[in-house]
Amino acid sequence: MQFDRKQKSDSELLEIYKRLLFPRLVEEKMLILLRQGRIGKWFSGIGQEAIAVGSTLAMQSDEYILPMHRNLGVFTARDIPLRKLMAQWQGKVTGFTKGRDRSFHFGTQEYKIIGMISHLGPQMALADGIALADLIAEKPKATLVFTGEGATSEGDFHEAINVASVWNLPVIFLIENNGYGLSTPINEQYKCKHLVDRAIGYGIQGVQLDGNNILEVYDKLNEIAEDIRQNPRPVLVECLTFRMRGHEEASGTKYVPQHLFNVWAQKDPVKNFEDYLLEENILTEQLITEIRNTFKKQIDSEVELAFAEPEPQANADQELADMYYPYHANAINPTTTNSEKRYLDAITDGLKIAMQRHSNLVLMGQDIAEYGGAFKITDGFVAEFGKARVRNTPICESAIVGAGLGLSINGFKSVVEMQFADFVSVGFNQIVNNLAKTHYRWGEKADVVVRMPTGAGTGAGPFHSQSNEAWFTKTPGLKIVYPAFPSDAKGLLLAAIEDPNPVIYFEHKYLYRSLTGLVPEGFYTLEIGKANTLQKGEQLSIITYGLGVHWALDYLKSNPEISAILVDLVSLQPWDKEAVKAAVKATGRVLVLHEDTLTNGFGAEISAWISENCFEYLDAPVMRCASLDTAIPMSKVLENDFLAKAKLPEFVTKLLAY
């Protein structure tokens, strides 16, 4: 192995050696502890240390790095105390995740490291968002994100690099190609000769490096980072290396031919660099022994201190509270006059006020810039706020939701528009596993609103009409709102944008231009989690939300002899249990109405809660009026029969007759 020291002094080379050696010795300690049964799992990076250490040393200390689970050298090179890391690995309360997650599945703003989740690829989109925040803020910074050769098969890899390419984001996408994705060799992972060649397809620079050569990795990454800080653009780097241990220790290495171990053992990054420094008379055998002994004593001490740290104590109230970033805001009442606005225009007004109020708010979505969005909600926004903050996106929902989280991590806010709520399915993982769990796992906010144009009534068929709120209401960490009126649409949107937690904002397409109402001018917010009781009554209570509110209003208006309480939930997570309980107590008969299908729709949760908590007030079973358990048909005749509205008279009659 050839090393080029360039202009580095002896002391600089010695420091690099120490940085390279330390994670190797930590790894060796972990293997001993594993054999002793003192730890239960370990993902070894032995043989790959030069990549993690070299690339980290090339980055500025305040630049974000997004590593994988075999990148111990990133964490040690950023000087995270081993005691703290060990506490994390052992699930101690003093770890970064308080025992809630393991390994390197955490982030830390103090050290500017954002860990992965087990789904591998999603961290790449976060890097896009982090870099986008720097780009908009005109900060000359680079972002480094790791992936493995196996994860390059995931859609997240392609989406993230394409977005970075289109937007000229200063991101270094680093592939650690160690030959195997767990046990699957590269010839079963991809067909191209070199992964770096994929850069050509995205119109970006690609660089292939000897990942076991610490100086080559450091020098080239330093060169790339310096360049893209001044000339923002992404670069794809493939580092060739080898994994000398199993995917994790329990999996073993029997699937790897022995000759590969023999070949790569000769390329050991620590041994080769050590030999080079001996040849250069920078190291001596005595100094090596002294350094190793010093490190081993430090490691032994730090490890034992971590073992002595306290275990987490179960506290359900604390667990529930930590699902969300601490935030409570009372509603801010409007101070101006009302004007008549369509539902759609109220949303536009809310977005515009939020953009004026927050210079760090970014809107992202397909066709939302000059075109103004599929429903023209952002028409004219580019002229007022500029393309940096009103961004057309490629068709890649996962990457854009992930970029929203990256923006939040780096001090920005974002509103992501799904062109139709149905399309969120291809961004599902980022929402339920990244947005929803980030604060619980390591205390970081996820300041992202996802706008969801939803619902039926327009004959748009199975892929543009679904009511999919129940996909998200069962996911802790998300807030879900669903306004039924223009004034609520504006006030809830502004509240959602103010809230540093992830909010899924459902807006019904059928109401966009068909519903008008008085909407206060200027800034105001509504309390998320607060229902509206729209009318009083004595015979039954109808609990509903969204378009169901208008079905119920129309039905009750046409049947004035029926005396009903009508509760518009407005928010589905959290939802207003007190308002529901009051309605149950007042009438003893409850109908839960919603546009979604019956089975496992959100109404099932309302019904179950009433049965458990309000049983003594009931004079009849809680009934649910919902849509058919089918996909949504396009034909108007079939759609009308599908929707719960068609069954509402039947259910009211049945409930009153009980």
Asked whether the beta carbons of 62 and 84 are under 8 A apart, the reply is: no
Asked whether the beta carbons of 496 and 527 are under 8 A apart, the reply is: no
Cα-Cα end-to-end distance for the chain: 85
Question: What are the helix (H) ranges across 499-643?
Answer: 511-514, 547-558, 577-587, 602-613, 636-642
What are the structure tokens assigned to 248, written together?
């994790």
**What pairing do the DSSP bridges indicate for beta strands 338-342 and 516-520?**
antiparallel
Residue type, 635: S
DSSP annotation string for 237-274: EEEE---SS-SSGGG-STTS-HHHHHHHHTT-HHHHHH
Q: What is the rounded CA–CA span in Å between residue 469 and residue 601?
A: 8
Q: What is the rounded CA–CA span in Å between residue 253 and residue 247?
A: 8
Asked whether the beta carbons of 368 and 376 are under 8 A apart, the reply is: no
3-state secondary structure of 434: helix
Is 259 tagged catalytic? Answer: no
The distance of Cα 146 from the centroid of its chain, to the nearest Å, equals: 17
Closest CA to 570 of 529, 603, 538, 608: 529
The one catalytic residue in 69, 247, 464, 594 is 464
For tokens 């109401």, name the residue. Answer: 511
Q: Which residues contact 158 (CB under 8 A, 6 or more apart)?
A: none
Q: What is the rounded CA–CA span in Å between residue 355 and residue 389?
A: 9
3-state secondary structure of 540: strand
Asked whether the beta carbons of 23 and 52 are under 8 A apart, the reply is: yes
SS (H, E, C) 445-506: CCCEEEEEEECCCCCCCCCCCCCCCHHHHCCCCCEEECCCCHHHHHHHHHHHHHCCCCEEEE
Q: What is the rounded CA–CA span in Å between residue 603 and residue 619?
A: 19
- Cβ-count burial of 557 within 10 angstroms (0-12 exposed, 13-18 middle, 19+ buried)? exposed
Asked whether the beta carbons of 338 and 521 are under 8 A apart, the reply is: yes
Closest CA to 509 of 419, 593, 414: 419
Asked, as a colleague might, if the bond just before 232 is cis with ω within 30 of 0, I would say: no
3-state secondary structure of 347: helix
Q: How many other β-carbons are positioned within 10 Å of the β-carbon of residue 317?
A: 7
The distance of Cα 620 from the centroid of its chain, to the nearest Å, equals: 43
Asked whether the beta carbons of 151 and 186 are under 8 A apart, the reply is: no
Enumerate the active-site residues.
464
